[in-house]
Amino acid sequence: MRDVRAARREFGLGALGVLLAFGVCEAVSRAGIVRRSYLPPASEVLARAAELAGDAAFLDGIGATLRAWALGLGLACVIAVPLGLLLGSVPLVDSAVRAIVEFLRPLPSVALIPLVSLLLGSGSGTEVALIAYACVWPILFNTVYGLGETDPLAKETLRAFGFGRLAVLLRVELPGTAPFIAAGIRISAAVALILAVATELLAGFGEGLGIFIAQAGLATDGTRDVLAGVVWAGALGLVVNGVLVWGERRLFPWTPEHRGADGGGARR
């Protein structure tokens, strides 16, 4: 019962925060503190964002952005999960690759946009490649970290029952690491959205949410469209995150942070 009340309270506070921010934006613009063409009232921006939901060309752009997002994120998973499992379970490979990884990781992927555009052209190839590059890191590190967190006693138990190394990897380490991998994917999903929009913004032509924002920014009085596009980007991020959090709770009810939530009953 207390959980429900706490959740309701949290939701209420969140809604209050949103309303407050909305009100401030609206007031600042309406009162003429900032010029209307720089910052249109929040209600106008929201109305425009809603209107865009009926705009076929705009929706095609959203579709293109989401396609690149999904492709890049998927590619990152395919690369990062096996690589992470390898790094996490074979110390020799880990030592060999560690230096390269530590060199590549801090490179800001947004800074790579011009370089990759030069190599792959400014199409969706560049976009997907950059998304995949940026998304590999959270997934890779979470996989390696998760493997390290696998309980040695669980592994020892399986070994004592005669299971070999591969069986221990598949039956203990992989399922035990799955929640960490999922968390890595959730972090990467947000990163992927940033990269998708950023690449499109810099490329400046083609189709996608970033293109829409870039072109709106060039038009006179385009601020309203720019902001409406930003609202869409934010909403997409929110939805993606919500879906992934929900999925994690469904898939991994055993993790300590989920145990209470789904009515596990007595724990001790």
Partner 1 sequence: MLDLSAVGQYYGDHQVLHDITLTVPDGQLLCVVGPSGCGKSTLLRTIAGLLPAREGTVTIDDTPVTGVPDRLAVVFQDYGRSLLPWLTVRDNVALPLRRRGLGRAERRTEADRILDRVGLSGTARRHPWQLSGGMQQRVAIARALVCRPTLLLMDEPFGSLDAQTREDLEDLLLEVHRTDGTTIVFVTHDIDESVYVGDRVVVLTPGPASKIALDLPVRLPGERDQIATRGLPEFVALRAQVGRAVRGQFR
Distance CA 216, CA 227 (A): 9
Closest to 223 in 3D by CA, of 28, 35, 40: 40
Binding to partner 1 (CB under 8 A) within 144-173 occurs at 151, 153-154, 156-163, 171-172
End-to-end CA distance of the chain: 20
* 125 and 131 Cβ atoms separated by less than 8 Å: no
Nearer to partner 1, 173 or 200 (CB): 173
Nearer to partner 1, 123 or 253 (CB): 253
Distance CA 127, CA 256 (A): 37
Q: How far is the CB of 151 from partner 1 (least distance, A)?
A: 5
Q: Apex CA 129: angle with CA 108 and CA 142, to 5°?
A: 65
Binding to partner 1 (CB under 8 A) within 171-190 occurs at 171-172, 175-176
State yes or no: residue 264 binds partner 1 (CB under 8 A): yes
Q: How many chain residues interact with partner 1 (CB under 8 A)?
A: 25
Nearer to partner 1, 221 or 257 (CB): 257
Site track 237-256 with partner 1 (rule: CB under 8 A), x = hit: ---------------xxxx-
Helix pair angle (42-52, 2-30), 10° resolution: 110
Give contact residues for partner 1 (rule: CB under 8 A).
Answer: 151, 153-154, 156-163, 171-172, 175-176, 252-255, 259, 264-268
